[in-house]
Amino acid sequence: MLDNLLSLVVWVPIVAGVLVLATGSDRNAPLARWLSLAGALAGLVVAIPLYTGFDTATSAMQFVEKTPWIPAFNVYYHLGVDGISMPLVLLNSFTTVLVVIAGWQVIQDRVAQYMAAFLIMSGLINGAFAALDGILFYVFFEGMLIPLYLIVGVWGGPNRVYAAFKFFLYTLAGSLLMLVSFVYLYYQSGGSFDIQTWHKTTLGMTAQTLMFLAFLLAFGVKVPMWPVHTWLPDAHVEAPTGGSVVLAAITLKVGAYGFLRFMLPIVPDASHELAWLVITLSLIAVAYIGLVALVQADMKKLIAYSSIAHMGFVTLGFFLFNPLGWEGGLVQMISHGFVSAALFLCIGVMYDRLHSRQIKDYGGLVNKMPVFAAFFMLFAMANAGLPATSGFVGEFMVIMAAVKVNFWYAFVAATTLIFGAAYTLWMYKRVVFGSVTNPHVEDMSDLNAREWLLMAVLAVCVLGMGLYPKPFTDVMHVSVVDLLAHVAQSKLP
């Protein structure tokens, strides 16, 4: 069974999704829910051996599977994970369980389709993280747009159609240019779509620069980086809670992962040459988007902008070209997965009760929902980067790495500690503290058992990672060091 572990990780959720879809109309909604939970849990269970059986001493791909898929183009069904992708696969499988539980009561319309879309997307995302063949990666990378488009469009809010189109077309624009790069690499590497072969292919500076730009657009849109970030707040505001959680916790990571798997190793010279560009964009994201977040009246929009700022740290860390920056970026990715998922779930909890996401409609929540307020406090602190939470670790590592490279990078990046605290805590203050002004808030009840479970699990993750991040960094350390060594070598012919 261990031979096909990654295939299981990819296909168990997809097959479960198809089964859920087969339950049909909303008459069978309870069956669809339990089946989805079983599918999501099965997906998580098969992913756990990836961690327990992982060899942290090597940067080579593990759990590799390789069979010819489209011999006409020399395309292989080639899966494998290293220390960079394995934690992301786990994060995704874990988040899927949360999403299914989060949608348990909230989604009453077309339940089977909703659950199936998430399960299928979870499998596709796992595939994107595990693919070692360019075309296979592209199929998963693009394929996940279809369920996400439907999730935003069908179950989203009033402006959902605009958001779904914007999201789809922005992402497609980037990935199509990446596809042309892949085809170009296919010929440059002598007829191979193998990603590891591409890592060794020598390329001229012009080709590298053009491909750098294509990759930057493809992955930059997904991350999203300033100035192509505008789809994210729209999609988030309109998406249902589960959609927001997956968007923030997982799909953004696919973009950042693309930098590490494709852009940096395939076009290292152009990446060094143009690092200033990415660093500038990242710093703008950190500082400027932080300010934008400050003035948001809609809680989901606020968290969406804060996601962009946090992902700015990830891209900043990657382009500092030192181990601390990379590991910091990766830790930040995982941490942001937990924290943003938790915050969107918190907003979901409030929205389910009051059907509003406007900060001004709330106030004095602590009087009615003390347990919720406590959890919300923890996640807000993590979002602000308080030490002992997971949010602190990644940001601290990246700032340390930035100091080594250029003091001013670190200076601008560190403003997030102020802005992040400002927008998160100010929102928290307005929503939770004060006296109850809105009569509807009077009727709000505290967390039910299902919500409590979700919050508790995420709280453990956030605190655990903040207090003892070693299990995460150990897994990625060797892969990061070896990949950095590879990126340091010139690939010019």
| Rounded least distance, CB 460 to other proteins, Å | 36
| Rounded least distance, CB 202 to other proteins, Å | 18
Looking at the Cβ atoms of 162 and 288, the one nearer to other proteins is: 162
The enclosing H or E element of 218 equals helix 205-222
Q: Which of 150, 140, 169, 201 is nearest to 14 (CA)?
A: 140
Q: Which residues bind other proteins (CB under 8 A)?
A: 24, 69-73, 110, 113, 135, 138-139, 142-143, 145-146, 149-150, 153-154, 160-161, 164-165, 168-169, 172-173, 176-177, 179-180, 183-184, 186-187
| Rounded least distance, CB 103 to other proteins, Å | 18
Looking at the Cβ atoms of 94 and 114, the one nearer to other proteins is: 114
Cα(62)–Cα(19) distance, rounded to whole angstroms?
Answer: 30
SS3 436: coil
Cα(123)–Cα(141) distance, rounded to whole angstroms?
Answer: 11
Cα(139)–Cα(303) distance, rounded to whole angstroms?
Answer: 30
Cα(121)–Cα(39) distance, rounded to whole angstroms?
Answer: 13
SS3 447: coil
Cα(281)–Cα(226) distance, rounded to whole angstroms?
Answer: 6
115 within 8 A of 150, measured Cβ to Cβ: no
Looking at the Cβ atoms of 186 and 226, the one nearer to other proteins is: 186
Contacts of 205 by beta carbon, 8 Å cutoff, 6+ apart: 269, 270, 273, 492
| Rounded least distance, CB 161 to other proteins, Å | 6
Q: Which of 147, 290, 153 is nearest to 226 (CA)?
A: 290
The amino acid sitting at 457 is: V
| Rounded least distance, CB 150 to other proteins, Å | 6
| Rounded least distance, CB 133 to other proteins, Å | 13
The tokens for 303 are 């968290």
| Rounded least distance, CB 110 to other proteins, Å | 8
Looking at the Cβ atoms of 145 and 381, the one nearer to other proteins is: 145
| Rounded least distance, CB 115 to other proteins, Å | 14
Q: Is the peptide bond prior to 13 cis by the omega test (within 30 degrees of 0)?
A: no
The amino acid sitting at 81 is: V
| Rounded least distance, CB 182 to other proteins, Å | 9
Looking at the Cβ atoms of 37 and 179, the one nearer to other proteins is: 179
Buried b (16+ CB within 10 A) or exposed e, 191-209: ebbbbebbbebebeeebbb
Looking at the Cβ atoms of 15 and 41, the one nearer to other proteins is: 15
Looking at the Cβ atoms of 117 and 283, the one nearer to other proteins is: 117
Looking at the Cβ atoms of 183 and 374, the one nearer to other proteins is: 183
Looking at the Cβ atoms of 84 and 145, the one nearer to other proteins is: 145
Distance set, CA 255 to CA 66, 88, 315 (Å): 24, 12, 10
Looking at the Cβ atoms of 70 and 460, the one nearer to other proteins is: 70
Looking at the Cβ atoms of 180 and 467, the one nearer to other proteins is: 180
Cα(151)–Cα(76) distance, rounded to whole angstroms?
Answer: 30
Q: What 8-state DSSP symbol labels residue 120?
A: H
421 within 8 A of 384, measured Cβ to Cβ: yes
Cα(281)–Cα(213) distance, rounded to whole angstroms?
Answer: 13
Q: What 8-state DSSP symbol labels residue 109?
A: S
Number of Cβ within 10 Å of residue 450's Cβ equals 12
| Rounded least distance, CB 208 to other proteins, Å | 14
The tokens for 357 are 């996401």
| Rounded least distance, CB 66 to other proteins, Å | 15
